[in-house]
Amino acid sequence: MRLAAVLRRSAAAAAAAAVASPSAYSYSYRLAPNASIASISTASSLTILPSKLSQNISPKRNCHFHAPSPDTNIFNMAASTAAPPATQNESRWFRLNPNVKPSHYDLLIKSDIEDLTFSGVVTIHLDIIEDTDEIEFNASRLRLSKALLASDALKTQSNTITTLSVDAKHERASVKTAGAKLPKGSKATLTIAFGAEITNSMMGYYRATWEHEGKKGFYALTQFEPTSARRAFPLWDEPAVKATYTITMIHRSDTVALSNMPVKSTRAIALAEQTKLLRAGELELGDEEKKTDGKTEGKTEGTTSSSASNEWSITAFETTPKVSSYLVAWANGPFKYLEASYTTIKTGRKVPLRIYTTPEYIHQAQLALDVKVKALPVYEEVFDLEYPLPKLDTLVASDFDAGAMEN
Q: How far apart are CA 168 and CA 251, in angstroms?
A: 29
The mean pLDDT value for 137-160 works out to 81
60-69, 211-220, 308-317, 327-336: which range is least confident on average? 60-69
The mean pLDDT value for 276-280 works out to 84
List of domains in the chain: 97-286+309-332 (2.60.40.1730), 335-406 (3.30.2010.30)
Tens digit of each residue's pLDDT (9 = 90 or more) over 348-369: 999 999 999 999 999 999 999 9
Q: How far apart are CA 118 and CA 142, in angstroms?
A: 10
The pTM for the full model equals 0.76
Q: Of 153, 160, 95, nearest to 126 (Cα)?
A: 153
pLDDT at 12: 38
pLDDT at 310: 85
**Cα 36 → chain centroid:** 30
Sorting pLDDT into bands at 50, 70 and 90, what band is 154? confident
Burial classification of residue 83, based on how many CB atoms lie within 10 Å of its CB (0-12 exposed, 13-18 middle, 19 or more buried): exposed
Q: How far apart are CA 137 and CA 204, in angstroms?
A: 16
β-bridge pairing 100-112 and 244-252: parallel
The mean pLDDT value for 272-282 works out to 81
Measured CA distances, 398 to 51, 201, 208, 219, 221 (Å): 5, 14, 7, 10, 11
Tens digit of each residue's pLDDT (9 = 90 or more) over 15-55: 333 333 343 333 333 334 443 333 333 344 776 665 654 44
- Which is higher by pLDDT, 294 or 251? 251
- Res. 296: pLDDT tops 60: no
The mean pLDDT value for 121-142 works out to 96
Contact 93, 123 (CB under 8 A): no
- Res. 111: pLDDT tops 70: yes
Sorting pLDDT into bands at 50, 70 and 90, what band is 164? confident
Sorting pLDDT into bands at 50, 70 and 90, what band is 179? confident
